[in-house]
Amino acid sequence: MVKFIVEWDETMWNTGKFVLTTEQMNIVCYAWIATALMVFVTMQYVTAPYGRHTSTKWGPSVNNKAAWFIKELNTFFVMLYYMVVGSKTFKSYVWILFAFWVIHYFYRTFIYVPMCRSTEKKMPFVIVLMSIFFNQVNAYINGFYLSEMADPADFGKEWLQSKLFLTGLVVFLTGAFINFKTDLTLIHLRKVGETDYKIPRGFLFELVVSPNFLGEIIEWFGFYLMARRNVAALCFAVWTFANLTPRAKNHSDWYKINFKNFPKRKIIIPFIY
């Protein structure tokens, strides 16, 4: 680790630029993936206190919608920044990958969050800070990798016609569709002004408790395939899985406690878990 930091410092000192070798990038990303796995294990015992699980035990809180808006806006801007100022973004078709991120986060920030019929719920400030940190690191790693490190020769016309890209595209769009459709179903369970929870029905809700999370995980796994299975994209796919699988389990337990007639459904993976 000391060797890594010294070499990194020397490289930046000599070039005057924030640069990483492929080896250094790998070390950063695998450390970040290991962190995600630790978070995954921790979240088997700790329920993330937002949405229906919000709690006053985590210190001062802020308005839920404002918190969501700020943390998603951050990611949107980081990716937009790297897309626009990145030195290699437009030297190949890598901008297409940026476009997927930016569209996803544009939707999440400016359409999804305002649409949510959330109550006057609050989110602990510490959770907002942790989410911003997690979102920022993932966006920086992916933005930096795509705009500064990825070789433009790897993202030409051949890549767009490759089986890996096309498979990833189908997986990504399928996940995005599932996430979009099921999030909308959840939002529309409440009429404007209502605050209670209802049992979601239809489509993938008949198979799993949290198909919106399943969709999000599929989406970013598809992105990883599209992006030539690079280590930065792997980070975000693993973080999404580590965040959302325990949350789906928490939701499932919560429904069973709060709805005596809650139908038998798997948690997040149809027929399996």
Ligand X SMILES: NC(=O)c1ccc[n+]([C@@H]2O[C@H](COP(=O)([O-])OP(=O)(O)OC[C@H]3O[C@@H](n4cnc5c(N)ncnc54)[C@H](OP(=O)(O)O)[C@@H]3O)[C@@H](O)[C@H]2O)c1
* Separation of alpha carbons 218 and 235, rounded Å: 14
Token code pair at residue 215: 């969709």
Q: How far is the CB of 79 from ligand X (least distance, A)?
A: 13
Q: How far is the CB of 164 from ligand X (least distance, A)?
A: 22
Q: How far is the CB of 189 from ligand X (least distance, A)?
A: 4
State residue 61 phi and psi, 5-degree precision.
-120, 160
Nearer to ligand X, 183 or 230 (CB): 183
Pick from 243, 246, 249, 268: which binds ligand X (CB under 6 A)?
243
Nearer to ligand X, 231 or 237 (CB): 237
Q: Which part of the chain contacts ligand X (CB under 6 A), choosing from 29-37, 139-147, 160-168, 208-216?
A: 208-216
| Residues 242 and 39 sit within 8 Å (Cβ to Cβ) | yes
Q: How far is the CB of 137 from ligand X (least distance, A)?
A: 12
Q: How far is the CB of 271 from ligand X (least distance, A)?
A: 21
Pick from 89, 92, 212, 230: which binds ligand X (CB under 6 A)?
212
Nearer to ligand X, 61 or 243 (CB): 243
62 binds ligand X (CB under 6 A): no
Q: How many residues bind ligand X (CB under 6 A)?
A: 23
Nearest to 135 by CA among 60, 220, 209: 220
Q: Which part of the chain contacts ligand X (CB under 6 A), choosing from 23-31, 93-101, 115-123, 265-273?
A: 115-123
Pick from 27, 52, 169, 254: which binds ligand X (CB under 6 A)?
52
* Separation of alpha carbons 203 and 28, rounded Å: 39
Token code pair at residue 166: 């096309």
Pick from 70, 149, 189, 207: which binds ligand X (CB under 6 A)?
189
Burial of 207 (0-12, 13-18, 19+ CB in 10 A): middle
* Separation of alpha carbons 271 and 225, rounded Å: 24
Alpha carbon distances (Å) from 116 to 51, 108, 178, 185, 204: 11, 10, 17, 11, 20
Q: How far is the CB of 187 from ligand X (least distance, A)?
A: 5
Pick from 124, 143, 175, 200: which binds ligand X (CB under 6 A)?
200
183 binds ligand X (CB under 6 A): yes
* Separation of alpha carbons 49 and 42, rounded Å: 13
Pick from 91, 181, 190, 266: which binds ligand X (CB under 6 A)?
190
116 binds ligand X (CB under 6 A): yes
Nearer to ligand X, 90 or 140 (CB): 140
Return the SS3 of 92. Answer: coil
SS3 content of the chain, % helix, strand, coil (to 5): 70, 5, 25
The set of residues, in sequence order, having a beta carbon less than 8 Å from that of 99 and lying 6+ positions away, is: 83
* Separation of alpha carbons 125 and 121, rounded Å: 13
The residues that touch ligand X, with contacts defined as CB under 6 A, are: 51-52, 116, 118-119, 121, 179, 183, 186-187, 189-190, 197-198, 200, 212-213, 216, 239-240, 243-244, 247
